[in-house]
Structure 1
């Protein structure tokens, strides 16, 4: 199966409390990211938590962008999933970084739908021989000890 979509998950650390707790600011950042990344916004939904934090979702023709904020930690969890070749999820992430201004980020790039070669789909079993050897050696030591008596 070929790659169906690109999925970027981004952990943003060291963001300002005020930015992460401002629903209108985050909504503006997401809508700007959608436009700049050549995506099509179908719907926008959000929820503001009390005393702080929010969740925002941009439903796209290409898939979605979501943000979950934890202002008390200065942390935002960002998810950008797109299908098709015309959208640019990396550009959307860059725009969101420019708005949220994290001190540090961790980005994971996932190719959705790509199973690789057929051999990659089979479970991999890893067996370590060292523990078995230790058990055998211990057993031999016990037998030698008992024989000596």
Structure 2
């Protein structure tokens, strides 16, 4: 058997969606997203883990999806594992980014199931950090900071 899979981990910082507080709304969104991607959901469970966060776990034949949501921090951590080489977990990320509306994201792609010999094994990992807001008037801010320092 040859297994080649892809996994995407996501960190969403400073989320703006007010539904972050509503575990059922996030659970519904995750179900809708996975069903639209033709994932046959076996089980989807949401559980409040502490006063400050909850988790949603989804199992399907093609893999799994997991979200940890911290409403007080406006932070979401998650991953999706898909047991198909041609899988595109990036679509999952795009939909989550659209739903949660974060200021900054961090994604890491992992290629899983590489059965090369141990001496040839080098994991394929790509990490990307991207702020979603642009800084306005950067030049003017730098000039003000320098002017304050010169006065001191």
TM-score of the superposed pair, with normalisation by structure 2: 0.69
Matched residue, 1:34:
34
Number of paired residues?
A: 122
Runs of 5+ consecutive residues of structure 1 not aligned to the other structure = 123-149
Rg (Cα) greater in structure: 1
Deviation track 1:80-101 (CA, whole Å, cap 9, x = no partner) reads: 0011256532212211111111
Runs of 4 or more consecutive aligned structure 1 residues displaced over 4 Å after TM superposition: 115-118
CA distance in 1, matches of 2:42, 2:75: 27
Whether the aligned pair in 2 keeps the contact of 1:65 and 1:78 (CA below 8 Å) is yes
TM-score of the superposed pair, with normalisation by structure 1: 0.70
Q: Name the one with the larger helix percent.
A: 1
Matched residue, 1:48:
48
CA RMSD, 1 decimal: 2.4
Runs of 5+ consecutive residues of structure 2 not aligned to the other structure = 123-152
Q: Higher RCO, 1 or 2 (CA under 8 Å, sep at least 6)? A: 1
Whether the aligned pair in 2 keeps the contact of 1:17 and 1:72 (CA below 8 Å) is no
Matched residue, 2:61:
61
